C-alpha cells in the first residue's frame, strides 16, 4: 500500500496557543516522532517552590536550549519571541474554540491537583490560586484575558515581514491537529515540500507538462473559492485564512497554487497598508509559486493574475516607498475564476 504520509522537513519549531490548548502535549509528541529535543518554557521558568526565574536568567536558559540544531518548543512567552522565532523554521498555532480550551484547562488543573502530579522541580498544582479567576495568579484569568488578544496578535504575526522565513500551521480543532500529526513522516527526502526556511522548492513547467495538466482539471478547492471571493471584495486579511485552509487541505503539488494566490493577497494587503518593503518582499516570493502554472488551472485565470500582479508592482515601484499613500487601488484587480458545475 502506498504511504499517504507527508515528509516533514522542519527541525526547529514553536508550538503556540492559549493556556489549555495542549501545546506541551503536542510538542512532546512531535519531538518523539521526529527525534527532536523537547523544550518546555514553563519548565525553564519555574524553579522549585514556584519561584520564578529572573528575566535575564530565563532568557539565558532559553538561549542555551535553542542552540541545539533540532527542537520543538512549547510556550507563549512574548518576551522571548524575538529569541525563539528567528531561530525557528515553523510555528504551529493551536487555535481552538474557547469552551473547548476552558474545559481542557479545568480538567487538567483538577487532575494535576487530585493526583498530585509532579510538574517542574518540586512543584505541584495548587488548586485554590487557580479558582481565584479574578486574580492574575490564576491560569483561568490569563486564559479569559488573552484568548481574543492572542488570536488577533497571531494573525498579525503570520503576515509580518519579519516572519516570512517561518512556515505556519494553523489548526482549529484537536482532531484536525491529530490527523496532521499522523500524516507526517520523519524521512527527509524533501520531495514536494513547499518551503524550508528561505529555500523555495517549486514546480517547473516541465513538471506540469509531464502530468498532462491533469492537475488543473476541475474546480478550485471550496476554501479557495471562499478565499478568492474575499480577495475580490478587498478583504485580503480574511482571504488569507480561507486560502491557508485550502493550502493545508490540498495535496501537493496543487497546494502550491493556492499558496501563490494567498501571497498575492498578502502583497495587496501590504500595499493597502502602505508597507512598501513588505509588499516587495512577498512579491519576490509569491511569483515563484505562480510562475509554473498554465494560463488557466482549476478554472482560475492564473496567467491573468500574474499579469495583474506585475502591473501592481510596477505601479508601486514607480511611486516608491515615500509616495505609496498615492497608490491607485483600482490597479488591484480581482481574481477571475469559474466553477465547473457537477454533471
* Range of weakest confidence among 14-23, 55-64, 159-168, 204-213: 204-213
Q: Is 139 exposed, middle or buried (0-12, 13-18, 19+ CB in 10 A)?
A: middle
How confident is the model at residue 198, as a pLDDT?
33
How confident is the model at residue 24, as a pLDDT?
86
98 band by pLDDT with thresholds 50, 70 and 90:
confident
What's the rounded mean pLDDT across residues 94-101?
87
What's the rounded mean pLDDT across residues 5-31?
85
What's the rounded mean pLDDT across residues 213-240?
88
How confident is the model at residue 119, as a pLDDT?
66
Query: What Cα–Cα distance (Å) separates residue 304 from each residue in 8, 36, 272, 333?
Result: 33, 44, 21, 10
pLDDT in tens, 303-313: 999 999 999 99
Contact between residue 49 and residue 122 where contact means Cβ atoms under 8 Å apart: yes
Mean pLDDT rounded to a whole number for the chain: 81
What's the rounded mean pLDDT across residues 227-250?
89
Report the share of the chain in percent with pLDDT over 70. 82
For the chain, domains (ranges, CATH) are 6-185 (3.40.50.300), 202-331 (1.10.3450.10)
What's the rounded mean pLDDT across residues 54-80?
88
User: In a 3-state reduction of DSSP, which class is residue 130?
Assistant: helix
Higher pLDDT, 241 or 208: 241
DSSP codes joined into one string, 4-17: --EE----EEEEEE
Angle at CA of residue 243, ends 314 and 154, nearest 5°: 95
How confident is the model at residue 201, as a pLDDT?
36
pLDDT in tens, 137-163: 777 776 677 777 878 888 888 888 888
Number of H helices, E strands in the chain: 14, 13
Q: Name the E strands within 27-127.
A: 37-40, 46-47, 51-52, 71-74, 90-94
What's the rounded mean pLDDT across residues 52-79?
87
What's the rounded mean pLDDT across residues 152-181?
87
Residue 75: which region, alpha, beta or left (left: phi > 0; alpha: psi -120 to 50)?
left
Contact between residue 303 and residue 315 where contact means Cβ atoms under 8 Å apart: no
How confident is the model at residue 312, as a pLDDT?
94
The overall pTM is greater than 0.75: no
Flag whether pLDDT at 190 surpasses 50: no
Radius of gyration of the chain (CA): 22
Flag whether pLDDT at 300 surpasses 50: yes
How confident is the model at residue 213, as a pLDDT?
52
pLDDT in tens, 100-130: 888 887 787 777 777 776 666 566 667 777 6
Contact between residue 337 and residue 246 where contact means Cβ atoms under 8 Å apart: no
How confident is the model at residue 233, as a pLDDT?
95
Amino acid at each position: 500500500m502506498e504511504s499517504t504520509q507527508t515528509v516533514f522537513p522542519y527541525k526547529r519549531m514553536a508550538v503556540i496557543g492559549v493556556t489549555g490548548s495542549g501545546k506541551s502535549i503536542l510538542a512532546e509528541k512531535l519531538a518523539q516522532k521526529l527525534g527532536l529535543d523537547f523544550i518546555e518554557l514553563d519548565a525553564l521558568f519555574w524553579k522549585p517552590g514556584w519561584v520564578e526565574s529572573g528575566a535575564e536568567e530565563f532568557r539565558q536558559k532559553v538561549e542555551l536550549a535553542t542552540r541545539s540544531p533540532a527542537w520543538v518548543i512549547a510556550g507563549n512567552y512574548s518576551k522571548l519571541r524575538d529569541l525563539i522565532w528567528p531561530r525557528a523554521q515553523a510555528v504551529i498555532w493551536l487555535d481552538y474554540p474557547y469552551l473547548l480550551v476552558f474545559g481542557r484547562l479545568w480538567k487538567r488543573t483538577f487532575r494535576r491537583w487530585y493526583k498530585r502530579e509532579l510538574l517542574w522541580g518540586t512543584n505541584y498544582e495548587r488548586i485554590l490560586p487557580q479558582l481565584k479567576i479574578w486574580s492574575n495568579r490564576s491560569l483561568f484569568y490569563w486564559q479569559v484575558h488573552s484568548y481574543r488578544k492572542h488570536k488577533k496578535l497571531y494573525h498579525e504575526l503570520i503576515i509580518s515581514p519579519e516572519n516570512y522565513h517561518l512556515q505556519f500551521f494553523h489548526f482549529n480543532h484537536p482532531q484536525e491537529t491529530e490527523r496532521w500529526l499522523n500524516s507526517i513522516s520523519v524521512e527527509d527526502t524533501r520531495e514536494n515540500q513547499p518551503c524550508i526556511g528561505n529555500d523555495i522548492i517549486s514546480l517547473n513547467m516541465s513538471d506540469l507538462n509531464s502530468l498532462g495538466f491533469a492537475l488543473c482539471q476541475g474546480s478550485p478547492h471550496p476554501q479557495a473559492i471562499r478565499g478568492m471571493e474575499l480577495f475580490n471584495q478587498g478583504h485580503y486579511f480574511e482571504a488569507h485564512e480561507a486560502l491557508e485552509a485550502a493550502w493545508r487541505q490540498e495535496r501537493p503539488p496543487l497546494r502550491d497554487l493556492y499558496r501563490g494566490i494567498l501571497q498575492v493577497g498578502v502583497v495587496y494587503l501590504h500595499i493597502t497598508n502602505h508597507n512598501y518593503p513588505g509588499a516587495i518582499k512577498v512579491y519576490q516570493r509569491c511569483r515563484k509559486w505562480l510562475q509554473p502554472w498554465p494560463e488557466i488551472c482549476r478554472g482560475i485565470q492564473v496567467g491573468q493574475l500574474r499579469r495583474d500582479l506585475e502591473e501592481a508592482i510596477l505601479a508601486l515601484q514607480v511611486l516608491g516607498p515615500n509616495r505609496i499613500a498615492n497608490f491607485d487601488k483600482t490597479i488591484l484587480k480581482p481574481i477571475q475564476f469559474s466553477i465547473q458545475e457537477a454533471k
